[in-house]
Amino acid sequence: MSEPAQAKVFPVSWDQFHRDARALAWRLAGAGPFEAIVCITRGGLVPAAIVARELGTRIIETVCIASYHEYTEQGELMVLKGLSPEVIKLGDGKGVLVVDDLVDTGKTATVVRNMLPNAHFATVYAKPLGRPLVDTFITEVSQDTWIYFPWDMGLSFQPPIAKGSQG
């Protein structure tokens, strides 16, 4: 999703993301057990590590899909790395947990859902267009919200929300 000029902005700190990823693990605890976690890279790497720790899952695989080629420009999806033979031998995804940071339009989730149709899909954040493709998520944001993840930001001054506000 391109960040429109009038987009809502939702910056997420490392602390907040960690809390949200742990909350995701807490919700997933009753949905398993999961034999393996497949994280959608790159955004799914951090929440997958947290969820794997919390659920005690040791088999973690990646599926690498590029959709944002110029950071804010979502383009054609490219599968850069498919599933490993170890995950493929598990079959249609039953017992597999797929983790990503965000489901936006659902295009990436659709590609992975086709690879693992019976996997349990979990994201930390969900937007309305992609929401029907995930089984578990923590926070829904509007489609016009641009999420700044902690790995996208550096430390800098943030102006007040109210324009003209005196600090």
Active site amino acids: 100-101, 104
Q: Where are the chain's structural domains?
A: 8-152
What is the CATH number assigned to the segment(s) 8-152?
A: 3.40.50.2020
**6 pLDDT higher than 70:** no
Own/partner contacts of 140-144, CB < 8 Å, gap of 24 or more, are: 141/8, 141/10, 142/8, 143/1, 144/4, 144/6, 144/7, 144/8
pLDDT of amino acid 63? 96
| Each residue's pLDDT tens digit, 108-143 | 999 999 999 999 999 999 999 999 999 999 999 999
